[in-house]
Amino acid sequence: MRKIILTTIITLPLFAQSSNFFEIGAGSQKITDNFHVESTQNNSSYNESDSSTQSIPYIQFHYRYKNIITKTMKDNVLLGYTIENITAGVFTSISNSKDTAWSNPFTLNASKEKTKVTKNGLYGEYSIGKNKNYDSKISYTYTKYDIENDTSIDSLQRDANDHKLRIDNRYKSNIIYNISYNIHDAKGEASSFKSYDAGVGYIYKISKSVDLVLLGNIGKISYNETNTVLNEKIDVTTTQFTAVSTWKNPFGLNDKYIKLTYRNENEDANHDFYDKQQQLAIVSMGFKF
């Protein structure tokens, strides 16, 4: 299952804060995605999806007690153990009870039905060279996707084992760059893919209390086999732009911050049915403890 929309939580792919924190907010997102359950329920063609707009909650936290750690990772909650430069743990979707997908997203001229999606996995990371000039982190994520009632044809079945290797780097406190490689091994070969992604960004210190982070990513997705419904082997170019502004200690409130987030994410495929776009804006407030 390929899903770019994060309906509950988004995180900027930077280094996690070293202190404990809790952050909550809300925003709005505009989605164009035939695989999203807010898309058109009754399709008459395999064209690009209509857009839909919805409000979204936002929650993010990081808590460490001795060597035990729990934190959010995108739309997942991790429970793990950390020692020196190594962290490992298990995670589950924060909204597993509500996660849904179309039973068959390729249904035409009939109402599509929803089915439950369960997502769980393992996570490990290793931090290298932490100093004032350079940080680097290598992470591996294994995710298992289970579609409760997938009525797609065999070659498009979406139960999957997903493997992702990612490297994040920071140079001289203000330059950030990352690269990732992903193998998505689905039950159906036409739903299986390999992808890679690279990004670079800059942290602007506008003042002692205000930071602005700009980050751009570009990548490719190549599906393993031809989608026989569309008679096309799907290839996708992905682009993403993220801007995050953080106001620390607003109004003299120590260990508090206000954050504004904007993100524009696109998947431009060689078939219109796979084209996707997400635009979102979020306002949030957090505190460190």
Question: Mind listing the pLDDT tens digit for each residue in 61-74?
Answer: 999 999 999 999 88
pTM (two decimals):
0.91
Q: What is the pLDDT of residue 228?
A: 96
Q: What is the mean pLDDT of residues 78-99?
A: 88
- Taking the domains of the chain in order of start, what are their residue ranges? 21-288
Question: Mind listing the pLDDT tens digit for each residue in 119-149?
Answer: 999 999 999 877 778 889 999 999 999 999 9
User: Which of 54-58, 107-111, 210-214 has the lowest average pLDDT?
Assistant: 54-58
Q: What is the pLDDT of residue 97?
A: 56
Q: What is the pLDDT of residue 1?
A: 39
Q: What is the mean pLDDT of residues 86-90?
A: 97
21-288: CATH class: mainly beta
Q: What is the pLDDT of residue 17?
A: 52
Q: What is the mean pLDDT of residues 112-125?
A: 96
Instruction: Render the burial of 131-160: b for 16+ CB within 10 Å, e for the rest.
Output: eeeebebebebebebebeebebeebbbbbb
* Per-residue confidence band for 271, with pLDDT thresholds at 50, 70 and 90: very high
* Per-residue confidence band for 8, with pLDDT thresholds at 50, 70 and 90: very low
Question: 152 - beta bridge partners?
Answer: none
